[in-house]
Amino acid sequence: MKGTPVTLKDIAKQLGITVATVSRALKGYPDISPQTKQAVIELAEKLHYRPNPIALNLRKNHSNIIGVIIPEIVHNFFSTVISGIMDVADAAGYSVIICQTNESYTQEVKEAGVLLGSRVDGLLISLSNETKQFDHLEEFMRLNTPIVLFDKICDELNTSKITVDDYEGAFTAIEHLILQGYQRIAIIKGHAYNSMERFRGYKAALEKYGMPILDELVFEGAKLHYEEGIAFAKQMMSMPQPPDAVLTVADWLAVGLLVGVKQCGKKVPQDMAIIGFNDWQVATALEPPLTSVYQPGFEMGQLAAKTLMAEIEANEKNQPYEPINQVLKTKLIIRESSSAKKEAVLN
């Protein structure tokens, strides 16, 4: 019942020659008679012959597959990154196996095990928020399987890393708000590495302009999602002196915040300017459209994949390679009215 794929043996048998000859003919080796070559190629085509990659991989001891581990696939940023990864992997003849952790350390360990078992040639990973230990990744290094960390990285591992310049992204955003006249600029931060960087940028910008860093304006988010944004809006609006601007660190958190502010009967940006690290299309479609820090996801995916491939190649040639550390620039996309000049304050 099972359709048997055509093998070299089949071709050899039909032509009364050996598999070795067939293999050579198909691979265009020099020492082969034109007639045999011709016959082999024709029959191969006729039978829809396709080399079995599994056999090939067994021999060469590599799989032509790279593994990708991300926290969540239903997420604009990550799916964009994956798109970039697939773009270069495809061109290089690699397939991509994707796993998601749902921000769970346990799940991450499990998926790493699966990929290790699959003998992927390399691993691209964006760490889950929970991940504080790295034994599961060190196993890859022991087997000399290159790893490239992207976006959610850590300092503990000596591998290549690709990140977005969150520090500068936040700095620029806050500076923009300051120059527009906002005075009580809040930040909603998380616990991940990226959040720390953004917080650093936040502090640096305020310091540059001699503005105080007030504890009451620094909010700690947990889930950083839509519902939490709404909750934060209400919390802020009930403060004696609410912030007049907020930098958020996640897509849907910003959207929730906007919705929440409006639910409180307040106006954006007159009562509160909001800047998000956002999916541009969502940010554009909102009322008012949100100013946001654009993160180059596609480019990050491409770069991460390119880096990984270079390391895989070096590996196969037994050449050493140095882990690199690339930081991609963000772009502040200012949308009309979303963080316009705060007239009242300036007058």
Partner DNA sequence: CTGAAAGCGCTAACAC
Partner DNA sequence: GTGTTAGCGCTTTCAG
Q: Compute φ and ψ for 268, nearest 5 degrees.
A: -105, 130
- Least separation, in Å, of the C-beta of 61 and DNA? 6
Strands 291-294 vs 273-276: parallel, antiparallel or unpaired: parallel
Of 50 and 331, the one with the shorter C-beta distance to a second copy is 50
Q: Select the binding partner of residue 316 from DNA, a second copy, none (C-beta < 5 to 8 A, by kind).
A: a second copy
- Which 10-69 residues touch a second copy, going by CB under 8 A? 48, 50-55, 57-58, 63, 65
Tokens 């502040």: give the residue: 332
Token couple for 247: 């930098």
Residues in the chain: 347
One residue of 42, 46, 58, 83 binding DNA per CB under 7 A: 58
Of 81 and 153, the one with the shorter C-beta distance to a second copy is 81
Give 220's strand partners: 189
- Least separation, in Å, of the C-beta of 303 and a second copy? 17
Token couple for 215: 């504890």
Contacts of 85 (CB under 8 A, 6+ apart): 66, 68, 96, 124, 301, 302, 304, 305
Per rule CB under 7 A, is residue 47 in the interface with DNA? no
Query: What type of residue is 202?
Result: Y
CB 315 within 8 A of CB 322: no
Per rule CB under 7 A, is residue 19 in the interface with DNA? yes
Of 119 and 266, the one with the shorter C-beta distance to DNA is 119
For residues 51 and 266, give the distance between their C-alpha atoms in angstroms, rounded to a whole number. Answer: 65
- Least separation, in Å, of the C-beta of 87 and a second copy? 9
Strands 291-294 vs 331-333: parallel, antiparallel or unpaired: antiparallel
CB 198 within 8 A of CB 169: yes
For residues 186 and 339, give the distance between their C-alpha atoms in angstroms, rounded to a whole number. Answer: 14
Per rule CB under 8 A, is residue 98 in the interface with a second copy? yes
- Least separation, in Å, of the C-beta of 19 and DNA? 5
CB 93 within 8 A of CB 36: no
Of 14 and 79, the one with the shorter C-beta distance to a second copy is 79
Of 187 and 258, the one with the shorter C-beta distance to a second copy is 258
CB 325 within 8 A of CB 303: no
One residue of 28, 35, 143, 155 binding a second copy per CB under 8 A: 143
One residue of 14, 36, 79, 284 binding DNA per CB under 7 A: 36
One residue of 14, 23, 104, 284 binding a second copy per CB under 8 A: 284
Token couple for 114: 């699966």
Residue numbers at the binding site for a second copy (CB under 8 A)? 1-3, 5, 48, 50-55, 57-58, 63, 65, 73-76, 79-80, 82-83, 86, 90, 95-100, 114, 116-119, 139, 142-145, 226, 252, 255-256, 258-259, 262, 281-282, 284-287, 315-316, 318, 320
Residue numbers at the binding site for DNA (CB under 7 A)? 4-5, 7-9, 16-21, 23-24, 26-27, 29, 31-37, 51-52, 55-56, 58-59, 61
